[in-house]
Amino acid sequence: MSSQLNIYVDQGTDFRLTVQLFDDDDLDLPIANYDFFGDLKKLYSTKRAAEFEFDKDENDITLLLSADVTRQLAPGKYQYDVMMRKPTGELSKIVDGLAFVVSTITEV
């Protein structure tokens, strides 16, 4: 079962969220060999609005959306999830929730 986490994305800014996958620092898991996938959609049944990129670091992953990507998102409520594929091929959902895209007033 995945964890649920609602997130807030400021429109037109870089978005970063670090997710700790494992609590134990003694685990020697090859996160570098895992594949991660994540989409942002208005509804589960609609076309993808954005695709997350990922940075991997030991027991953590960081979800990333560039300012260019968030600038294209209309303010409002979205749904997202993140899937992990192990080298064995096992696929699991690790986090999902609502993503609220918030308007940014300042133009840069």
Residue 107 lies in a domain: no
How sure is the predictor about 29, in pLDDT bands with cuts at 50, 70 and 90? Answer: low
As given in the structure block, the two tokens for residue 94 are 């690790």
Q: Is 51 exposed, middle or buried (0-12, 13-18, 19+ CB in 10 A)?
A: exposed
> How many CB atoms lie under 10 A from the CB of residue 53?
13
Domain count, the chain: 1
- Domain assignment of residue 18, given as a range: 3-23+30-102
As given in the structure block, the two tokens for residue 59 are 């027991």
Residue 15 lies in a domain: yes
Secondary structure letter of residue 1 according to DSSP: -
In which residue are the tokens 């133009």 written? 107
As given in the structure block, the two tokens for residue 29 are 């898991």
Residue 108 lies in a domain: no
Residue 37 lies in a domain: yes
What global pTM score does this model have? 0.87
Residue 48 lies in a domain: yes
Residue 36 lies in a domain: yes
Whether the per-residue pLDDT at 108 is higher than 90: the answer is: no
Query: What mean pLDDT do residues 15-21 have?
Result: 91
CATH code of the domain in which 13 resides? 2.60.40.10
The pLDDT assigned to 30 comes to: 72
The string of DSSP codes covering 32-85 is: GG-EEEEEEESSTTSPEEEE-EEEEETTEEEEEE-HHHHHTSPSEEEEEEEEEE
How sure is the predictor about 24, in pLDDT bands with cuts at 50, 70 and 90? Answer: low
